């Protein structure tokens, strides 16, 4: 297996990395070089036997067990990414392996993205936070390598700073390989698997600093590939900040016969409106939302769309951006429907959206306004309470002057006793 991997893995570059000093979720990353060699060989050969297919499945699972673990990247993650990109770019890389690697790289830079809906990353904020983290970590090699066992007394702030650096370094490592990924996809454009193209389009939306290289490839997908591929690429184009010619194609997808492409086309139109910023005439209607998955057409049993969560999020962001004027009842209805259709951590942004449009954090000691009362009713009814506590959004509730205990929240709805003389 080592000879097969030698044509994929650059051994000189592999041996130059101090793997034994780096860390993953379970300690030293000294086991990673052999894992990479084995994985590269599996990715670039035809898996004939059941045993070989099992080896490949096990290898995929292992990458999600330590180098990326429960949404977290480590000091070794940024060093693994370039070798994963090399495997992706190899001419013999199988379609299944390419799809996996595109997903894995996406997870490294945007942990636990929920579907193929291209997401935007605030790179400037990531870099600014990481710069502050650099000052905290300093030249401490144990922190730089993530060897926290060598630092038993390290405080939480310092440890968090180290993980911010890992996230930044991993993002930059994947970003550095974007040009080669684009070149590979272009070179195999007519033969590369549709599933891979969709995953690559979603991944590339994460790298706005490389959009000059990325956007031409995405437009090729829009113009030359099936609607489901082109419509995902169109969303990615908008997420990268482009708008020219988007509306024309978005309408075409939305009015077409492919249900999922129609959804992405509608999402592209909404994203254009989000990017335009607040407006005095938001024109948010139930009909708009139905087009974009909030309601029966997309989320019902007829077509259980896996993209529903992302598009509901998008509509919520649109509402928050658009409502410069006083909040309207239909906006709260739409946000409440979103909240009811989502579970667990997925509810966090919807809770914040409702707090934002009702100006909950501006209330101070004043009584609840009618809109704020409606918001509290929505929280009490729809959030996922566990033993009366909603731990997932405790910080958001506190920031908006709300208790995160259901009983105390309900007490806010009780009539205020009349003042006595």
- Structural domains counted in the chain: 2
**Structural domain includes residue 375:** yes
Query: What Rg, from alpha-carbon coordinates, does the chain have?
Result: 24
| Rounded Cα gap, residues 151 and 225, in angstroms | 53
Contact between 314 and 264 (Cβ < 8 Å): no
- pLDDT of 119 reads 80
Contact between 75 and 23 (Cβ < 8 Å): yes
Sort residue 225 into left (φ over 0), alpha (ψ -120 to 50) or beta.
beta
**Structural domain includes residue 98:** yes
**Structural domain includes residue 241:** no
Residues 404 and 293 in one domain: yes
Residues 1 and 125 in one domain: yes
Contact between 96 and 57 (Cβ < 8 Å): no
Q: Which of 112, 147, 176 is the last residue of a domain?
A: 176
- pLDDT of 359 reads 87
**Structural domain includes residue 398:** yes
- pLDDT of 304 reads 41
**Structural domain includes residue 119:** yes
Residues 18 and 159 in one domain: yes
Q: Which of 129, 154, 176 is the last residue of a domain?
A: 176
Contact between 331 and 342 (Cβ < 8 Å): no
| Rounded Cα gap, residues 304 and 299, in angstroms | 5
- pLDDT of 353 reads 84
- Give the position of tokens 């086309």: 265
Residues 303 and 154 in one domain: no
What mean pLDDT value characterizes the chain?
Answer: 84
- pLDDT of 251 reads 84
Sort residue 254 into left (φ over 0), alpha (ψ -120 to 50) or beta.
alpha
What does DSSP say about strands 68-69 and 23-24: parallel, antiparallel, or unpaired?
unpaired
Sorted by sequence, the CB contacts under 8 Å of residue 166 that are 6+ apart come out as 73, 74, 75, 77, 78, 146
The pTM (predicted TM-score) of the whole model is 0.79
The tokens of 9 are what? Answer: 């893995």
Residues 409 and 287 in one domain: yes
**Structural domain includes residue 6:** yes
Contact between 228 and 261 (Cβ < 8 Å): yes
Q: What is the SS3 assignment for 409?
A: helix
**Structural domain includes residue 328:** yes
Q: Which of 126, 144, 176 is the last residue of a domain?
A: 176
Low-confidence ranges of the chain (pLDDT < 50): 1-2, 279-305, 324
- Alpha-carbon distances, residue 124 vs 120, 130, 204 (angstroms): 12, 10, 17
Q: Could you read off the pLDDT of 68-116 as tens digits, one per residue?
A: 998 899 999 999 999 999 999 999 999 999 999 999 999 999 876 656 7
| Rounded Cα gap, residues 140 and 153, in angstroms | 14
| Rounded Cα gap, residues 343 and 351, in angstroms | 12
**DSSP output for 153-192:** T--HHHHHHHHHHHHHHHHHHHHTTHHHHHHHHHHTTTTS
Residues 9 and 139 in one domain: yes
Tell me which residue of 117, 114, 133, 135 sits closest to 125, measured CA to CA.
133
| Rounded Cα gap, residues 38 and 2, in angstroms | 7
- pLDDT of 290 reads 43
| Rounded Cα gap, residues 112 and 119, in angstroms | 11
Residues 117 and 1 in one domain: yes
Domain of 366? Answer: 277-414
- pLDDT of 14 reads 96
**Structural domain includes residue 181:** no
């Amino acid at each position: 297996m080592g000879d097969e991997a030698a044509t994929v893995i650059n051994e000189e570059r592999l041996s130059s990395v101090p793997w034994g000093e780096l860390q993953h979720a379970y300690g030293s990353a000294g086991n990673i070089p052999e894992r990479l060699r084995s994985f590269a060989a599996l990715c670039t050969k035809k898996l004939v036997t059941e045993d070989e297919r099992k080896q490949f499945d096990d290898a995929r699972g292992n990458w999600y067990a330590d180098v990326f673990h429960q949404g977290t990247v480590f000091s070794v993650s940024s060093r693994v990414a370039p070798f994963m990109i090399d495997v992706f770019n190899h001419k013999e890389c199988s379609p299944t392996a390419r799809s996996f690697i595109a997903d894995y790289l996406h997870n490294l830079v945007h942990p636990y993205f929920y579907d193929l809906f291209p997401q935007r990353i605030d790179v400037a904020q990531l870099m600014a936070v990481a710069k502050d983290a650099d000052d905290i970590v300093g030249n401490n090699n144990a922190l730089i390598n993530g060897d926290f066992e060598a630092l038993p007394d390290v405080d939480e702030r310092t440890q968090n700073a180290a993980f911010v650096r890992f996230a930044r370094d991993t993002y930059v490592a994947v970003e550095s390989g974007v040009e080669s990924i684009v070149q590979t996809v272009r070179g195999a454009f007519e033969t590369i698997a549709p599933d891979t193209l969709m995953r690559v389009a979603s991944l590339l939306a994460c790298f706005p600093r490389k959009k000059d290289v990325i956007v031409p490839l995405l437009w090729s997908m829009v113009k030359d590939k099936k609607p489901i591929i082109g419509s995902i690429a169109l969303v990615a184009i908008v997420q990268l900040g482009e708008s020219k010619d988007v509306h024309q194609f978005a309408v075409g997808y939305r009015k077409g016969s492919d249900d999922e492409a129609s959804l992405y086309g509608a999402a592209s139109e909404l994203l254009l409106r989000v990017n335009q910023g607040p407006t005095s005439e938001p024109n948010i209607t139930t009909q708009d939302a139905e087009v974009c998955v909030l309601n029966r057409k997309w989320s019902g049993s007829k077509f259980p769309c896996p993209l529903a969560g992302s598009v509901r999020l998008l509509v919520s962001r649109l509402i928050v951006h658009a409502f410069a004027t006083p909040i309207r009842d239909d906006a709260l209805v739409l946000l409440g429907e979103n909240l009811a259709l989502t579970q667990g951590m997925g509810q966090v942004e919807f809770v914040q959206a409702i707090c934002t449009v009702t100006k909950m954090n501006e209330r101070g000691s004043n009584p609840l306004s009618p809109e704020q009362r409606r918001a509290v009713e929505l929280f009490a009814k729809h959030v996922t309470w566990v033993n009366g506590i909603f731990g997932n959004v405790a910080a958001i509730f506190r920031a908006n002057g709300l208790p995160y205990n259901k009983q105390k929240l309900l007490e806010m709805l009780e009539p205020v006793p009349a003042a006595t003389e």
